Structure 1
Amino acid sequence: MDIRQITPDYAVSPQIKAQDIPDIKAAGFRSIMCNRPDGEEFGQPDFDAIAKAAQDAGLEVRCVPIVSGMVTPQAAQDFATALDQMPKPMLAYCRSGTRCTMLWSIVNHGELSGEDIVAATRNAGYDMAGLVRQLDRG
């Protein structure tokens, strides 16, 4: 697993497996959000298997699937709602962690400065400077 902290309450990861759930729980996470649609890639673990393992471990889990490169206003709202409602700290995952980082950046734009978003995401290994410039332009 490659967990990358964005904030103390929010981290992202590339695709996880059901077998990773005990380690995720041991790391202190209280919830898991999947931002990847099932069947996006051959061999990808199904969300239902991950959800069952997470629920069995006492973690809250939710799927807010976002097709790569297609973040709609509704998708951003669904992500924001899940982020607001789910227990923290939270781990979000997708194929590489980038989609989860982009969504976090979009929903936090305006609450955090662009500079703070870029710094937080860069510290986790993601460059959101271009996205922040787009968001700043409206």
Structure 2
Amino acid sequence: MDFNKINDTLTVSSQITPDEVTRLAEKGYKTLINNRPDMEVEPGLSSDVMEEAAKAAGLSYLYLPVMPGQFTPDLIADMAQALADLDGPVYAYCRSGTRSCTTWALAQIGILSADEIVEQAAGAGYDLSAMVDFLRG
């Protein structure tokens, strides 16, 4: 299990398993966001299975699937709302963590500067420098 800490509010990673969810609760995470579409995973990693594991561990759970390259306005708004409303810290995952990080970055437009977004992502191992002009608007 990877812990790619973006900031004190959000950590992202690659796919996790139901058995690892308890470890997240033990480390103090309060919310689990699943950004991986069910069509990409085996049944044992489906959103229903992960939600059950999260609830059993005492975590809030949100399924916000991100199809590769499809960062819709609704998805970005839902991520922004989740980060504002749900208890943190938050742990989000997808196949590699990149979609979770990118969705967070797009949800931060107007909240953080483009340079802050890129810097925080880089600190977690994600290079969003190609997005800096878009993040600036």
TM-score class, shorter: over 0.9
Residue number in structure 1 paired with 2:80: 80
The aligned residue for residue 127 of structure 1 is 127
Cα distance in 2 for residues equivalent to 1:91 and 1:4: 9
User: Secondary structure, in 3 states, of the residue corresponding to 1:7?
Assistant: coil
Paired residue for 2:56? 56
Q: How many Å apart are 1:132 and its aligned residue?
A: 2.2
TM-score (norm 2): 0.93
Does 2:37 correspond to 1:40? no
5+ residue gaps in structure 2? none
CA distance in 1, matches of 2:44, 2:76: 23
The answer to whether the Cα contact below 8 Å between 1:30 and 1:60 also exists between their aligned partners in 2 is yes
Query: Which residue of 1 is the match for residue 5 of structure 2?
Result: 5
Question: 2-side partners of 1:3 and 1:36: how far apart?
Answer: 17
Alpha-carbon offset, residue 62 of structure 1: 0.7
Question: In 2, are the aligned partners of 1:55 and 1:61 still within 8 Å (CA)?
Answer: yes
Q: Deviation of residue 41 (structure 1)?
A: 4.5
25-34 or 36-45: which moved more?
36-45
**Is the 1:35–1:63 Cα contact (8 Å) retained in structure 2?**
yes
How much does 1:98 deviate? 0.4
Paired letter, 2:25: K
Q: CA RMSD in A?
A: 1.4
Moved more, 44-53 or 30-39: 44-53
1:26 Cα deviation after fit: 1.1
Give CA-to-partner distance per residue, 1:73-96, whole Å, 9 cap, x none: 111111111222211000011111
Q: Percent identity?
A: 36
Moved over 6 A (4+): none
Measure, in 1, the Cα distance between the counterparts of 2:68 and 2:79: 14
1:38–1:44 contact (8 Å) kept in structure 2: no
1:54–1:61 contact (8 Å) kept in structure 2: yes
Residue ranges of structure 1 left out of the alignment (5+ in a row): none
The alignment's TM-score, normalised by the length of structure 1, stands at: 0.93
- What amino acid sits opposite 2:122 in the alignment? R
